[in-house]
């Protein structure tokens, strides 16, 4: 049976752990405290490497709970490794990707081998600064002021675990160009008082480049991407060269997903940010009210640097009214994310009330400006009022649902832009045209010059 290494107090031999509140290593037996660097922890690595298994990302709370590191059982499955605790000799079962765990019998903090190899040991570690009690307080605050949450809500905390989650950090450069058809709307009123709209079109081109640093991508298949993406950003300036001693008192894992498999996600996030911001620059062209059509958009993304880190996260599992809930708290910033149960009755009442209230206001507005003294109806005003009523209702519902659904996957890499952001290398805009066809001809002539 494989053995594990342990963290012991140099003074009394007691169990050491990293105290996030004081930023030091502490022994509860003799109350000794040690500065960073006075305690050294090395992950056990042997020449016999446990074979990695193909795993799917956790896509639901049940997926996570089935594979959560603290839920692993000694059932002889290929994903479990049994270790002998150096302190009490008890058998401790850990997942293959776990490199730091705690003996459930004596509380001893251990470093174990698992899937740790010289190639997948992370380069950086960000120590915890949020304590367990502070994490619980952040969770309580997360439950407050949620309109769609039942007033009877009283979740039971089933498990709270501090974990170092493996992330890949990608530095990427992108360059590209886009061609667009923009439009300008002019409104005029004739002698009869009727309003007319005319739309004019412009051919627009943009070319630019941008750089992104440390785009974080979850490297653990057990952790749901929605939670791991949503708790960003992390203050990467607080990272330190990796030392396993920071794992004392926490779980720590190495990545069980290859960096090549995670890289396409980072690239998609970069492309999404670049495309959005390049189009926004085109939209700001003088006289342009919006973009009618994107004709072409070509990008090229290159990886400039890849690094790996383990970042601090408090994972919390709660239940209420037979509903499973999973929350994650950023171990440095305290940001809390997780999905809450929506009370259907409260949501239905809110949607209905908003619809009726906005409809009444819309009717009053319509009566004031949508009809004239002769009783004629301006159907454009009527249609506008109806659309506004539905949009207001959707906005209000979306706002309150956004409070309940915070564990969402990242859609762009805007938080990872370098200081210079998007750099536009070329701007061009054609003349004002009466049709998109004419604008496209302008674009063709410009590109052929």
Average pLDDT over residues 148-152: 89
Is residue 314 very low, low, confident or very high in pLDDT (cuts 50, 70, 90)?
Answer: very high
What is the tens place of the pLDDT at every residue in 238-258? 999 988 778 777 888 888 888
Instruction: Sort residue 324 into left (φ over 0), alpha (ψ -120 to 50) or beta.
Output: beta
Name the pLDDT band for 94 (thresholds 50, 70, 90). Answer: low
In whole angstroms, what is the distance from residue 140 CA to residue 339 CA?
Answer: 14
Q: Supply the mean pLDDT for the chain.
A: 82
pLDDT of residue 18: 74
Please tell me which residue, 1 or 17, carries the higher pLDDT value. Answer: 17
Better pLDDT: 389 or 374: 389
pLDDT at 265 over 60: yes
pLDDT-derived band at 77 (thresholds 50, 70, 90) equals very low
**Radius of gyration over alpha carbons of the chain, in Å?**
29
Confidence of residue 163 (pLDDT cuts 50, 70, 90): confident
Tell me which of 22-26, 58-62, 220-224 is least confident: 58-62
- 29: nearest Cα among 18, 13, 41: 13
Q: Please, which residues have CB within 8 angstroms of residue 348's CB and are 6 or more apart in sequence? A: none
- The per-residue pLDDT for 50 is 47
Distance between CA 197 and CA 1 in Å, rounded? Answer: 80
Please state, in angstroms and rounded to a whole number, the distance separating the CA atoms of residues 100 and 111.
5
Give dist(CA 295, CA 252) in Å, integer. Answer: 48
Mean pLDDT score, 20-46: 70
Quick one: pLDDT at residue 181? 94
Q: Is the pLDDT of residue 81 over 50?
A: yes
pLDDT at 74 over 50: no
Q: Under a CB-based contact definition with an 8 Å cutoff, are residues 160 and 342 in contact?
A: no
Q: How far apart are CA 262 and CA 170, in angstroms?
A: 10
pLDDT higher than 90, residue 84: no
Lowest-pLDDT range, 133-137, 199-203, 231-235, 375-379? Answer: 375-379
In 3-state terms, what secondary structure has residue 57? coil
Q: Which of 10-19, 49-58, 437-446 has the highest mean pLDDT?
A: 437-446
Selection from 210, 17, 203 nearest residue 102 by Cα:
17
What is the reported pLDDT for 98? 65
């Amino acid at each position: 049976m494989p053995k594990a290494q342990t963290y012991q107090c140099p003074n009394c031999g007691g169990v050491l752990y990293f105290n996030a509140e004081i930023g030091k290593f502490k022994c509860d037996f003799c109350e000794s405290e040690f500065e960073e660097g006075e305690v050294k922890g090395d992950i056990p690595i042997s020449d016999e490497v446990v074979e990695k298994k193909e795993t799917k990302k956790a896509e639901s709370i049940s997926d996570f709970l089935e594979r959560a590191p603290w839920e692993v059982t000694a059932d002889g499955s290929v994903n479990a490794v049994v270790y002998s605790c150096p302190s009490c000799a008890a058998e401790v079962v850990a997942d293959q990707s776990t490199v730091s765990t705690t003996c459930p019998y004596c509380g001893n903090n251990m470093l174990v081998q698992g899937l740790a190899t010289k190639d997948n040991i992370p380069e950086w570690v960000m120590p915890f600064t949020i304590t367990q009690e502070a994490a619980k307080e952040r969770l309580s605050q997360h439950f407050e002021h949620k309109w769609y949450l039942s007033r009877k809500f009283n979740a039971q905390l089933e498990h709270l675990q501090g974990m170092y989650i493996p992330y890949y950090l990608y530095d990427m450069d992108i360059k590209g160009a886009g061609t667009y058809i923009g439009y300008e709307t002019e409104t005029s009123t004739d002698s009869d008082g009727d309003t007319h709209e005319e739309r004019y079109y412009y051919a627009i081109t943009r070319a630019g480049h941008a750089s992104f640093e440390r785009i974080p991508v979850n490297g653990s298949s057990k952790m749901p991407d929605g939670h791991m993406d949503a708790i960003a950003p992390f203050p990467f300036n607080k990272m330190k060269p990796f030392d396993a001693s920071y794992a004392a008192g926490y779980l720590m894992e190495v990545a069980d997903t290859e960096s090549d498999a995670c890289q396409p996600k980072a690239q998609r996030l970069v492309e999404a940010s670049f495309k959005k911001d390049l189009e926004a620059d085109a939209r700001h062209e003088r006289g342009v009210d919006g973009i009618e059509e994107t004709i072409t958009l070509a990008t090229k993304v290159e990886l400039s640097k890849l690094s790996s880190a383990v970042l601090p996260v408090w994972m919390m599992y709660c239940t209420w009214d037979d509903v499973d809930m999973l929350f994650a708290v950023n171990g440095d910033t305290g940001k809390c994310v997780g999905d809450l149960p929506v009370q259907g009755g409260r949501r239905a009442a809110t949607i209905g009330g908003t619809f009726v209230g906005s409809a009444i206001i819309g009717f009053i507005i319509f009566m004031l400006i949508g009809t004239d003294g002769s009783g004629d109806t301006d159907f454009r005003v009527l249609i506008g009022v109806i659309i506004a009523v539905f949009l207001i209702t959707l906005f209000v519902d979306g706002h309150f649902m956004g409070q309940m659904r915070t564990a969402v996957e990242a859609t762009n890499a805007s938080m990872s832009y370098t200081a210079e952001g998007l750099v536009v290398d070329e701007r061009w805009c054609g003349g004002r045209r009466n049709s998109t066809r004419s604008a496209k001809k302008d674009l063709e002539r410009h590109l052929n010059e």
